[in-house]
Each structure stands twice: as structure tokens, then as C-alpha cells.
Structure 1
Amino acid sequence: MTWLITGGAGYIGVHVVRAMTAAGEQVAVYDDLSTGDSGRVPDEVPFVHGSTLDAAGLRRTMKDLAVRGVVHLAAKKQVAESVERPLHYYRENVEGLRTLLEAAAGSGVEAFLFSSSAAVYGMPDVPLVTEDTPCAPINPYGETKLTGEWMVRAAGRAHGMATASLRYFNVAGAAAPRLADAGVFNLIPMVFEKLTEGAAPVVFGDDYDTADGTCVRDFIHVDDIASAHLAAARELTGRTPGTDLTLNIGRGEGVSVREMIALIGEVTRYGPAAEPVSAPRRPGDPARVVASADRIRQELGWSAAHDVRRMVESAWAGWCLRHPGARRDLAGVRSAPLAATRPA
């Protein structure tokens, strides 16, 4: 069975590709390279440069590669950008998914795995977010992900595909330095950037109703995200056509922003320089968002393997590779060997 991984040249995508190929799954990558890097796709993995808005290209790819399963990771994912460009996000994330589902249904695809997000929950006021927590997204990005879940479920029932939606929490880390996230949109790389520039990290809001006044989040290693995809893909191959799963991917443990910054200072050895400064709250930031990981453990027998320190260490190794001026205190951090990759 060949799995087509859309967005497979991106940060999360290349980790999913590695996990699935290492486990013996047959995969191919379909990516428009708007944020991905084809040089990180292993040589033995077929690569197609294309957009999920290209219906003919999708149908041709599925036919040529005899695709029977889809892992859909391709999407626009910056919350602030989604507020500024909502129609762009609806076009890319919703219309792109609709086009992909139509091609999949017409090509005999049997299993469809959708990359969703904890953004579908909005601002949940609960200690642990379960899959039954009401969804109330507060930005266009979250809205497109929730709409995507509805579309995937409906298409699966109508066309006999087993489907699943995986709701990620805060993804971090890397399997190897060259696979690290190149963006500076999340807490860990944002702190790295400040420290490298000789500036203090910034805490947005220090008066939340939490133990230290800062927001609490559930951080999950990207390698754990990848292993969850593998487990879900294998589960779908044995499920009744038309059935659907919705699962959180998290560790079930909260870490505050202040705690994370302190750990980053320790790992990078910037120490006191990592003492943050406070800024006003950002609109829409909930005080606490931590996953319940019970259902995925029950359904798939999956649980996270990496702790927060490993996330920071591996992310820092990747940051140092891309920023030679940063301190290279983690040059000896262990990482998994890379498969041969195609030239960029």
C-alpha cells in the first residue's frame, strides 16, 4: 500500500516520511515547496512537486503511484497570518483539502489521515483537553482545521474511506539538526533568536491564573508526532471503511512559558541571560491548554517517548547548525542517522 504524504518536505512532513519508511511503509511525497525543502526527502522516496489545488496533478499522481492511503499535512499554519489573510487560508486549507479529497475518492483511496490542530479548541477552560471538549476556534487557522475535520469525516463516510484527524498540541524538537524547524514562530525558536541576538526573551503576560502567572502549554516532540502518524496510518488500514477517529497528540503534561525559558537557558548555557522580560498579554492566548492523551493510548497503544529537555536540546542543535554565531554547547547531542537525501 502506497501512502501519499502531502507536505512531506516540510518540518513535520519529513519526520513522518522518516518514521513511515523506517517502519517499512511505502510512501511518496507531494509538496508545493512553499515552505518545504525537497533536499530533505530521502532519495528512495518518490517526490512530486505540486499543489493540492491542482486536481489533475493529484489524480495523475495517485494513478501513477497506485496510491491507496493519504497523509495530509500540507497547510498554511500561521495564526497571525490567518487573521490578516483569511481568504488565503480558506483557499489553501479548505479548498486544497476539498480538491485532495475529491481526487482521493475518485482514485480508490482507502485510508485518509488528516493533520488537524489543538487550535480547533480555541480557549478551553478545562485542566485537560479531551477530544470531547467543545471546539470553538478563535482564528481563521483553527476554523480551517475544524472545517477540514468535518470534510474528512463526511467524505470518508460517503466514499468508503477509513479516516482519522490528529489534533497536535505544541510541536518542538528535531530528529537530527538538519531537520529542525527553520521558522521562528513558536516559543522555543523565538527564545533562541533573542538569546543569539543578546536580548532578553519576552513573556507575553505574567498575570494569568497559573502557578507562575505565565501560560501553560503541552509540548510534544516532532518525532512523537511522526510515530503517532505511523500508528494511526497502520490502524486505518485495518478499520472498517467509513469509520473515523479523532485523537489528540500530546504528552498530557503542562509546562509554563517561564519554566520553558528557564530550561532553554540551562540547556543553551546562557543562564541568567535567559531571564525574561514581561510584555502585555496577546489577544486570544488561553491561560492553559494541555492535552488528555488517554484516547490515543487506548485506541493506538501510543504514548510520547521524548521529554521537554530532549525537545530543547535537539531544537538547539538545529538552531546552531543554521546560525554559526550561536553557542554550540550541544555539538555532541545525539540524533538519529539521516537517510541519503536528494540534492536540494
Structure 2
Amino acid sequence: MTSSPADRTVPVLVTGGAGYIGSHAVLALRDAGWPVAVIDNLTTGFEFAVPDDVPFYKGDIEDTNLLARIFAEQGIRAVMHFAGSIVVPESVEDPLKYYGNNTAKSRSLLQACIAAGIPHFLFSSTAATYGVPESSPVREEAPTVPINPYGWSKLMTERMLADTAAAHPINYCALRYFNVAGADPQARSGQSTAGATHLIKVAVEAALGRRESVSVFGTDYDTPDGTGVRDYIHVSDLADAHVLALKELIAKPQTSMTMNCGYGRGFSVLEVLDAVDAVTEGKIDRIFAPRRAGDPAALVSDPGRLKATLPWKPRHANLEEIIVHALAWERKLATIRQMPADPDNRG
């Protein structure tokens, strides 16, 4: 019995594979038996997040000569692209950094893929492409009107992908993430960046005494408790969606896709903090502050297209489970940082 195209694994290059979401995609691919390699410049990634048996290349995705060598050495037939900058306020302060890292370098990567005949491309996009949606839950048909350079830099790359797929034999899937949280259930990877701004990461650090408090920006939104509501998706469920999307691209080489990644359920800032308190049996200090410019009252996904297109069944769609996994990783991360680095910087 021969396997169908959807069952066939191909060698995959994960850009930014030493970072938070990229490292979980590497684990999901590796666990499912896909050959995988990683390129990361380690600006915000950590080589200890890359499994020892996964080929790792330290370098930048604008280095087209290095990319050509990786494609040849590893026989790459698909790219999952996570490399980039993601801090919204920083994008406002330094827009050219974001248009450079997220847009211009994505162009270099895409050009290298076309030159090498890579037929499949997965792109890490964002709900920031919607700006402040007129309604929630948000569907893919909603207007894309970003309100910051980060969102625009990602939307520009989506446009490049669409135009490139129309002109060359390559298909793509752009996955628009909502709020990614949690960590690998086996504590093999997690959010490791110092000074991260993700609410659950910040709350877990505060619960463990690594921050004095958590700021709550805005208490007068039109939501049940006045604080902003967001759709939190477990990073491992998100990684699984990438693997399934790659299978779909392989099975349907003429088809490209853009899909939301979330659970379709929102939690307010106070609900998240209350859940962390419940899990840790503690009490996080909360500092109430004014709204931040551009923050919508609610940002919740409509994942209908994702669920209709892929056989995606989330395994960790539970806020307390997300928090438990984030806590476990935070505790492990403390031990990793205390260990002397070995010669190849893997822990």
C-alpha cells in the first residue's frame, strides 16, 4: 500500500527554530517523524531549545548563500518561517528594524526558496494584521488594517507570499496567531526570553517571585470585568496545527491558505491572574494602569476555517493546563540558567 501525499514527510527547515514557537514546531515535527533542521541567529533564541539530534545552523535568513547550502545539505523541501521580531511597542519605536527583520529578510528567504525550488512554505503571521477589529470573534475575512509596524511587517510578508505563489510553483499557509502561551508538556521547551511581555509568562514570573507585580492596562473596557479579553492558545496545539497545515500543502500543491489560530474563547486579564493564583495557591500583586493605545477590548479568534480545513483537535485547550505547563517550564528554566554552558551552548 503506497502512502498518500498527505502522509509523506519531507525535510523541513525551521527558521527561528531556537525561539519560543519555532522550537515547539521543531518538537512537533520531530515527534511526528519529519526530518527537520534549524536556522537561528540566536538574537532571541537559545540553542539549548534545539534537540541534540536536529541539525542546527547559526546564521541569518538574509544569508542566501548559507540558505542554499542548508537546502542542499539537508534536502529541504519545505520551510516553516518563525524568525523575526515580535514586540509591538518596540516596532513603534524602531519601525525600520521590523520592516528589516520581518519583511525584507522574509523576502530574501522567499527568494532563496524559489531559487532552490522549495515547493512549500509555512508562515508565522499574527492577529495584529487585523488591527482593532470591528467585531469579535474575528474571521479571516475581516479587514486587515494594522495599527503598528509589527502588524504591517507581517501583512506585507503575507502579500509577498500571495504574489510569489501566483508567479512560481510554491504554495503557502499563513497562520495568524492570537495569544500564544504555555510550554511543552514534557518541559522540553518554553518561553525563555528575558523581559517577555506575554501576560501568562509575566504572571507566572510574578507568582514565582521573579517580578514584584503585574500591570493591568485598562479596567474600563466594555467587557464583563472591564479588562481586556484575549484568546490564549497553547503553544503545543499551535505547533500541531503547523504540522497538519504542512501535510495539507503537500497534499494540495495548488492550494494556499490563510487561517486564524486560536480556540475561539477569550479570557480577561483578571481571569488569567485569578487562574494563576488558583493554580499556585498564591496572590499576585496587581497594579492598575491606564489603557495602552491601540489595545482592543476583546480579541478572540474564529477558528472555523482552521477546523474545517485541517483535522486539528486541540489537546490543551484549558487555561489552567496552559498555566501549569508555563509554571513547570519557568521552574526548569531557572535550573538551566544556573548550569554552566557546555562547548556547543546546548544547556
Structure 1 gaps, min length 5:
325-340
CA shift in 2, pair 1:36/1:246, >3 Å: same
Find the aligned partners of 1:106 and 1:141 in 2 and give their Cα distance. 28
Q: Does the residue aligned with 1:208 lie in a helix, a strand or coil? A: coil
| 1:197 shift after superposition | 5.0
Matched, 1:89 2:98: yes
Structure 2 gaps, min length 5:
1-9, 336-343
Q: Where do residues 161-172 of structure 1 align in structure 2 (5 Å cutoff)?
A: 161-172=170-181
Paired residue type of 2:38: V
The aligned residue for residue 160 of structure 1 is 169
Matched, 1:228 2:241: yes
Contact 2:181-2:201 at 8 Å conserved across structures: no
CA shift in 2, pair 1:23/1:198, >3 Å: closer
Find the aligned partners of 1:135 and 1:198 in 2 and give their Cα distance. 35
Contact 1:296-1:303 at 8 Å conserved across structures: no
Matched, 1:281 2:272: no
The one-character-per-residue Cα deviations of 1:136-158 (angstroms, maximum 9, x if unpaired) are: 11111110110111111111221
Find the aligned partners of 2:333 and 2:280 in 1 and give their Cα distance. 15
The aligned residue for residue 321 of structure 1 is 332
The one-character-per-residue Cα deviations of 1:145-201 (angstroms, maximum 9, x if unpaired) are: 101111111112211111110001101101133512023211112223334157443
Contact 1:111-1:162 at 8 Å conserved across structures: yes
- Which range moved further: 97-106 or 24-33? 24-33
The one-character-per-residue Cα deviations of 1:283-314 (angstroms, maximum 9, x if unpaired) are: 11100000001100000121322111111111
The aligned residue for residue 343 of structure 1 is 346
Q: Decide which of 270, 293, 312 is 1:258's aligned counterpart.
A: 270
Q: Does the residue aligned with 1:179 lie in a helix, a strand or coil? A: coil
Matched, 1:210 2:213: no
The aligned residue for residue 338 of structure 1 is none
CA shift in 2, pair 1:264/1:236, >3 Å: same
Q: Does the residue aligned with 1:135 lie in a helix, a strand or coil? A: coil
Q: Decide which of 234, 246, 250 is 2:258's aligned counterpart.
A: 246
The aligned residue for residue 157 of structure 2 is 148
When the two structures are superposed, what TM-score results if normalisation uses the length of structure 2?
Answer: 0.90
Matched, 1:219 2:219: no
Paired residue type of 2:304: D
The one-character-per-residue Cα deviations of 1:46-65 (angstroms, maximum 9, x if unpaired) are: 11111011111111211222
Q: Does the residue aligned with 1:112 lie in a helix, a strand or coil? A: strand
The aligned residue for residue 6 of structure 2 is none
The aligned residue for residue 340 of structure 2 is none
Identity, in percent, stands at 42
Q: Provide the aligned C-alpha RMSD in A.
A: 1.6
Q: Where do residues 287-326 of structure 1 align in structure 2 (5 Å cutoff)?
A: 287-306=297-316, 307-323=318-334
The aligned residue for residue 32 of structure 2 is 23
Q: Decide which of 74, 78, 84 is 1:69's aligned counterpart.
A: 78
Matched, 1:111 2:120: yes
Find the aligned partners of 2:27 and 2:119 in 1 and give their Cα distance. 22
CA shift in 2, pair 1:209/1:145, >3 Å: same
Count of matched residue pairs: 325
Contact 1:41-1:342 at 8 Å conserved across structures: no
Find the aligned partners of 2:171 and 2:177 in 1 and give their Cα distance. 20
Paired residue type of 1:305: R
When the two structures are superposed, what TM-score results if normalisation uses the length of structure 1?
Answer: 0.91
The aligned residue for residue 124 of structure 1 is 133
| 1:40 shift after superposition | 2.1
Find the aligned partners of 2:201 and 2:150 in 1 and give their Cα distance. 21
| 1:26 shift after superposition | 1.2
Q: Decide which of 199, 204, 222 is 1:192's aligned counterpart.
A: 204
Find the aligned partners of 1:291 and 1:32 in 2 and give their Cα distance. 31
Q: Does the residue aligned with 1:274 lie in a helix, a strand or coil? A: coil
CA shift in 2, pair 1:295/1:198, >3 Å: closer
The one-character-per-residue Cα deviations of 1:18-37 (angstroms, maximum 9, x if unpaired) are: 11111111111111111111
Find the aligned partners of 1:49 and 1:227 in 2 and give their Cα distance. 25
Paired residue type of 1:224: D
Paired residue type of 1:48: Y
Contact 2:204-2:326 at 8 Å conserved across structures: no
Find the aligned partners of 1:253 and 1:201 in 2 and give their Cα distance. 23
